[in-house]
Homo-oligomer: A and B are copies of this chain.
Amino acid sequence: MVASREIHLNSRPHGMPRKDNFRTITVEVPEPGPGEFLIRNVWMSVDPYMRGRMHDRESYIPPFQLNAPLEGGAVGEVLRSHHPDFKPGDMVLHMRGWREYALGDGSMVKLPPTGAPADLYLGLLGIPGLTAYFGLFDIAGLQKGETVFISGGAGAVGSVAIQLAKIHGCHVIASCGSDEKAHWLREETGADHVINYRTVDDLNAALRAAAPEGIDVYFDNVGGEHLEAALDCLKLNGRIAACGMISQYNDVGEGVGIRNLLMVVGKRLTIKGFIVSDYMHRREEALVPMMQWYHEGRLNSRSTVFEGIESAADAMIGLFEGTNTGKMLVNLCSHQQHGIEVEFI
């Protein structure tokens, strides 16, 4: 038995999540039974999609239950094992985040010995990286030489998408919400134009100025005004990969809608939504080249790290306040080695 703190959903947020929607409790995790092993979580992923699971409604993934631990991607170290394939010291990727210790079983994924820091499997080499890859190349069918607009460019998905599009030989316009993020995107990800949407007067005009000929593809992480600006700026036969719409996740009641959807008809646009879990059977198709680009130094990663499970609610709220640059992580075990270029908060 080991004492483990975990985060429960205390109440369902109405609008922006508040700290009192979450509660930290301590439980006893039993010793692993036959075929099981005990995991000490090291890294925990905090992602925008989790906001949707806080609603009690039908969706592509079941809602979080009240008074039960939240769930989400995590990487941990095997401490004690009764499973022949998992040895103490092995690093495991799994969905039992939001807690310090968890019991594991044979359905979990052991991290391969790639030399990449473990936390990258929650970002660049994990769900966000796969989302960027399949969104750009499969959903939007991005072609070499095209112009792509990527909103939420400083987020976990957006920052990978920018780099992948640049490797693919595309012209990239990205948006983000601070001058510091804009500087990072320009200097480190290779974005050709960066728009700080919080400081421009007119997002449509800023996008049009960055792409006078129009854009071929819009990778949407934000929705709302970003999506309207993209619809206005897309060329004939343009495509939208609808990955997420973070600007709307905390909307209460009926928000403001998208007013220029009629553009879809005259410009023959395609809007295609996707969830990366549909691509898990094709993950190697993305991970093999991405791992190579990572080792060649062509794909870089940055994270914002909150320390300790007691900071997880702040990390979640921070996602919607734009606190993170790159992947938002919680480090649950600070003596473990971190990935490169992390920024502690």
Name A residues whose Cβ lies closer than 8 Å to a Cβ of B: 52, 59-60, 223, 227, 236, 242-245, 248, 254-275, 278
Question: In the assembled complex, which residues on chain B have CB atoms less than 8 Å from the CB atom of A244?
Answer: 265
Residue of B nearest to A58 (CB): B266
Residue from the set A266, A275, A278 with the largest chain B CB neighbour count within 10 Å: A266
Across the two chains, which residue of chain B brings its CB closest to A271?
B271
A242 to B257, CA, bound (A): 17
User: Top 6 nearest A-B pairs by Cβ distance?
Assistant: A257-B257, A264-B273, A257-B259, A265-B273, A271-B271, A60-B266
The residue from B264, B266, B271 contacting A59, defined by CB atoms under 8 A apart: B266
Pairwise interchain contact A243-B265, C-beta atoms closer than 8 A: yes
- 17 A-B Cβ contacts within 8 A? A60-B266, A60-B268, A223-B262, A242-B264, A242-B265, A244-B265, A256-B257, A257-B260, A257-B261, A258-B261, A268-B272, A268-B273, A269-B271, A269-B272, A270-B270, A270-B271, A270-B272
* Given A270-B270, A278-B268: A261 and B223 interface contact (C-beta under 8 Å): yes
Q: Of A258, A262, A264, A268, which is in contact with the most chain B CB atoms at under 10 Å from its CB? A: A262
CB closest chain-B residue, reference A269: B273
Q: How far is the CA of A264 from the CA of B270 in the complex (A)?
A: 12
Residues of B within 8 A of A275 (CB): 265-266, 268
Residue of B nearest to A256 (CB): B257
Q: Give every chain B residue within 8 A of A60 (Cβ-Cβ).
A: 236, 266-268
A248 vs B266: C-alpha distance when bound (angstroms): 13
Docked complex Cα distance between A270 and B270 (Å): 7
Residues of the B chain whose Cβ atoms lie less than 8 Å from the Cβ of A265: 242-245, 273-275
Please report the C-alpha to C-alpha distance between residue A108 and residue B247 in the assembled complex, in whole angstroms: 51
A273 adjacent to B270 (CB under 8 Å) = yes
CB distance from A262 to the nearest CB of B (A): 5
CB distance from A279 to the nearest CB of B (A): 11
Bound: A262/B221 CA distance, A: 11
Taking the closest CB of chain B, its distance from the CB of A276, in whole angstroms, is: 11
Chain B residues whose C-beta falls within 8 Å of the C-beta of A255 in the assembled complex: 259
CA of A116 to CA of B146, assembled, Å: 47
Is B271 touching A264 in the complex (CB atoms < 8 A)?
Answer: yes
Tell which of B52, B254, B264 touches A266, judged by Cβ atoms closer than 8 Å: B52
Tell me whether A261 and B278 are in contact in the complex, defined as CB-CB below 8 angstroms, given that A266-B273, A271-B271 are known contacts: no
Q: Report Cα–Cα, A267/B248, bound state, in Å.
A: 16
Contacts of A269 in B (CB 8 A): 271-273
Q: Which residues of B contact A254 (CB under 8 A)?
A: 259
Could you say which of A227, A236, A261 has the most chain B C-beta atoms within 10 Å of its C-beta?
A261
CA distance A260 to B257 in the complex (A): 7
**Least CB distance, A275 to chain B, in whole angstroms:** 6
Of A244, A254, A265, chain B has the most CB atoms within 10 Å of the CB of A265
